[in-house]
Every structure is written in structure tokens, then in C-alpha cells.
A and B are shown apart, each in its own frame.
Chain A
Amino acid sequence: MLDALSPEEWLALLLSLRVSLVAMLVSLPFGVLAAYALARGRFPGHGLLNGMIHLPLILPPVVTGYLLLLAFGRQGWIGALLWDWFGFTFAFRWTGAALAAAVMAFPLMVRAIKLAIEAVDPKLEEAASTLGASRLVVFLTVTLPLILPGIIAGAVLGFAKAMGEFGATITFVANIPGETQTLPTAIYSFLQVPGGDAAALRLVAISVVVALVALALSEWLSRRVATRIAGR
């Protein structure tokens, strides 16, 4: 079983899973927050926030990657601070790949969660407030449990998008085996060398399997949660 893949292919697969999982988990709380602000918030800058979040969906990934490089590269205005203060950098590290994946997947994740929040009747939240629940408690005890299917859907979508991210990743952190070479960039590399087709095909098959498993898992979770919150 282990022999089915070369060490280099294994490296790319495991790195991809790690990058996508970290990107998804770290961005999820921000995703929920942003979705809540967009769905329920009425504040100046609402449109601007909406635009910022959706920008990576519309911009060419190369542009997003380059902007990340400008901001978070060793010489970038945020990257330089991080390096000076914490000795930490995203540049050409797997954490950078995770950042790129998270930024690219963020709009999809937020959209799914926002749809779920908009489906929650604000009247239920009003009822909770008359029962003595502050806004935070209302969110934790009423809104959050009711939007769980949406959060799961958003998380899976974000994970799948992160698994497939290519343009921004290769622009921001390049294609270093074992550090920043994820499945898509590995497939790309194999296709560049003569005789790499077989390895590329194996990775393609793995990509398909991972995507299908993620999809099935999210379907199953959503169904369970949906029956629970339908009140039956």
C-alpha cells in the first residue's frame, strides 16, 4: 500500500492535507464572525468588508498570491514586522501555503455560513433575548446550533478549495518539495518532467478520492444536524 506512492508523492499528499486542515480550522472562527457581520450587521463599511472578503474569488489567483507576497514576504510591510518581532515568516514555508489556501477559500466558506445565518429566523433570537440571553449567549445557544450544518458545509467547501489551491500558492510560496509542494503543484511539477505522467495520474486519483470523501462526510454530518434542528 505504502509502495503505491513514491516518497515524494506521499510528501505532497500529507503536506496538502496538513495545509488544508490548518487553513480550514484557523480561518473557520473568522469565517463565522465575518458571515455573522455580513448577515446581521448594520455598520459603516459593510459593503467594503463584503468586497474585501469576496476579492480573492474574482481576482486572478496569481494576483492574490503576489499581493500576499508583497504583504507577507520577508520584506513585506506585515512580513517584515513579523520577522523582526517574532522571527516568524510565511515566505516559502508551509504556513504560507496554508495562508494562501485560507485566503482563497475564505469567500466560499463565508458564503455558505452566511446563507445558513440568513436562514435562521431572527424572531427566535428575539425570543431568546426576552428570556434573558445577551447577544453573545443568543449566538452561542440559538444561532450557532442552528447554523451548524452551514458551518460544516462551509468548512468542507473551504477544505476542498484549499486542497485544490494552485495559483496563489505557487506565486506566494513557490513549489518546494516537502515544504510548499502541495498536490496541485506536485501534479504540475510531474507534468513538466518526461515520464512524470504516471505519478501525476496517481496524485490526480488521490485528489478525486479526497474530494469525494470530504463531500460524503459533509453530506452525512449535515443530514444529522438538519434533522436535529428541524425540531422533530
Chain B
Amino acid sequence: MTLELRLNHAFPDFRLEVDLVLPGGLTCLFGRSGSGKTTIVNAVAGLLRPDGAEIRLDGVPLQDLPPHRREVGYVFQDARLFPHMTVAENLTYAARIRRRPVEDFDRIIGLLGIGSLLPRRPGTLSGGERQRVAIGRALLSRPRLLLMDEPLAALDEARKAEILPYIEALRDETGLPVLYVSHSLPEVARLATTIVVLEAGKVAAFGPAADILSDPQTAPHLGLRDAGAVLTARIEAQEPDGLTRLMTVAGPIWLPRLEGIPGREVRVRIAAQDVILSRARPEGLSALNILPGTISALHEGQGPGVLVRLDLGGVFLLARLTRRSALALELAPGLQVHAVLKSVAVAQADVGGAAAQG
């Protein structure tokens, strides 16, 4: 699948101008509120007519079609379930109005875990349940592309944690391309295969998620506090002291107990500020995870900080340290260093399901 997007639209205080060719998988549009993310998905859905638009889905132009002809599913931030219908009626709405049989009902119901909700009315559902039904309703309309506009933003952390695995399953099992709007970097790091960073209507960065997240040049656009690379790892063993041993390209790491049988692939987001660099392999340190690597890039920001990208052998880690430390260690591209990572620094929420690379 490719989605070609050429849009421009004037806002009172800025101009949206994007020219993108997006691959399949889950593409995150990331940016501050007001950067134009929602405008883009609304333009793709046909709910907004930009001043200029060329939108092609697998070569088929969409820009002149009314919304109901675009075959683009949309999951809104507020679930927007029809209050006068049951969950089952909401789910089958698209099939009923087009007078065609409902396909894949059981599989999608199972994927989202909403089988027990079918006879209920939307007013009696929790926020998380409502959002899952909304996802199911969009999927059952047999879209060629799924748009999701901050589907988790209105939910608390517990509900988010409840839904994220379903979105991962959707990404990995349905093969449906997804355009996902978010301003939460942890969410983006967990879900995205491709990232588009928007700033005031312009594309500030665009590329595969692993590259964008570990690129010290783009990290400042993502927010320094949240900057961090995503490592792909495989669960090796659940150890008796409560830790889980994971294997990465660069060697084993230990994290607090992760659910999953050995062999399961996970994505682990490691925040740049939780990584310590050392020139020699540290001895007598409490931290369990020490990964050797080569510095591949350094980026000095305006403040006292430096972002360092570490090549662990094809996968990358991002470390954020002070300029003073970088000078003291004489860090430079090409230098061999050791990255130290505290096991407990990785939050459960930063570990996602099966790795996805397009």
C-alpha cells in the first residue's frame, strides 16, 4: 500500500503544507496540538476540504470523492458510537446500510475482545470498551485504510494499557494500513512503523520509526524528555528472581517481569535520559544491562545537553547526557563505549507487542 499525500491549507496563523508518500504499516503523525495532524486525517477522510489536495491510495485519487465513497475507516478520539443502537448494531452498521453480509465478524470481535458487549448500549460502556467497539465498527466497514485520531487521548493510563495490545494486534495481524495521530511519544514508540513529525504544518522529520526515534537530529522535535530509541528484543527466559531475560542484537538485557512466553518478540523503548555511557566496561555497578556499541552521531542542543546515537550493530540506542560529560569522556563518532541501562528504568508501558518493521 502507498498513500500519497499532497496537501496545503491555510490556517489563520500557519500554513499546512505536506508532500508525503507513506508506506503500509502503522504511520504515526506526531506533533503538538495545532500542528495540523487532525487536518491531515480529516482531509484523507473527506471531512475537510483543504485549499489544495492530492490524495492517492494505491494510485486511486480520493480527493474528489465524498467521505462515504472513500472506503477509509475512521476511529475518532471520542468513540462516536450511535447512541440509539446496540453495540452489535453499531458494529454491523456499515454492512447493513450497504446491504451486504457482515464479513470477518467473529475474528474482529475476538481480536478486540468485545464479544460480551454485543447486546449492550453505548451509554453503558466504559471509555475503553467504547473505543474498542469504535475500532471494531471501523474495521467491519472493510476499509482500505484506517485513520485513528488520538484514539487513546481521552482515556486514563489503565484504559490505554488495556487498548494498546489490541492496536498492536491490529497492526500485526490485519495488514491494514493505519494512519495514527498522536502527541504521546511513548504511544508512538510502541506502535509506529513509520513516523511523520509535524511542526506548524510542515514535515519536520519522516522515516522508519527506528531511524526517527534514534536520530539525535530529530529527537529534539519529539521532545527531549521523551526522546528514546526502540530496541527489538526476544524474550529468552523468565528468571526465578522476577526478571525477564531478553536477547537483543547487542546482547542480553534483563527487565522486570514481562508477560510472554520465550520466543515472543517485543519492542522496548529506552528513554535517552535513562542511558549512561562509559568508556571502559564498568565493574562493580548495580546496573544489570551493559551493552557495547560505537558512537555513530552526536547532536548538541541549545541547552547543556548532548544527544548521542549508539550503534549496537544495526540497532540504535539514544543517550542524553550533559555536554560536560561528553567533553570529559572525549566522546566522538567512531568511539567504542558501553551503554549502561538500569533494568527498573523501563516501564511496563514502554514495552509493546510483536516488533513491526513495515
Which residues on A are within 8 Å of B, measured CB to CB?
121, 123-124, 126-134, 137, 141-142, 145-146, 228-232
Contact = CB atoms under 8 A, between A and B. Distances in A.
Nearest to B134: A127
Given A129-B67, A130-B67, A137 B97 contact: yes
Query: Which one of A128, A129, A131, A141 has the highest number of Cβ atoms from chain B below 10 Å of its Cβ?
Result: A131
B271 to A, nearest CB: 36
17 contacts: A126-B67, A129-B67, A129-B68, A130-B45, A130-B67, A131-B94, A131-B137, A131-B138, A132-B68, A132-B94, A133-B68, A134-B68, A142-B82, A228-B84, A231-B83, A231-B84, A232-B123
B121 A231 contact: yes
Contacts of B67: 126, 129-130
B124 interface: yes
B124 A131 contact: no
Interface string B323-334: 000000000000
Contacts of A137: 68, 97
Contact of A127 (B46, B72, B80, B124): B80
The contact size tier of chain B is: 20 to 34
A142 B73 CA distance: 18
Contacts of B124: 231-232
A129 B66 contact: yes
Contacts of B293: none
B98 interface: yes
A85 to B, nearest CB: 39
Given A133-B68, A134-B66, A127 B74 contact: yes
Nearest to B81: A231
A128 B82 contact: yes
A27 B76 CA distance: 38
B47 interface: yes
B98 A229 contact: no
8 A-B pairs closest in CB distance: A231-B123, A231-B83, A127-B80, A130-B74, A129-B67, A232-B123, A229-B84, A131-B94
A121 B74 CA distance: 17
Nearest to A148: B84
Interface in B58-96: 66-74, 76, 78, 80-84, 93-94
A229 B121 CA distance: 9
Query: Which one of B45, B94, B97, B98 has the highest number of Cβ atoms from chain A below 10 Å of its Cβ?
Result: B97
Nearest to B98: A132
Contacts of A121: 80
Contacts of A230: 83, 123
Given A130-B74, A131-B141, A231-B122, 14 more contacts: A124-B83, A126-B80, A127-B76, A128-B93, A130-B70, A130-B138, A130-B147, A132-B94, A132-B98, A133-B93, A137-B97, A141-B97, A145-B84, A231-B121
Contacts of B84: 145-146, 228-229, 231
Contacts of A145: 84
Nearest to B124: A232
Given A145-B84, A229-B84, A231-B122, A132 B66 contact: no
A218 to B, nearest CB: 19
Contacts of A128: 82, 93
Nearest to B78: A123
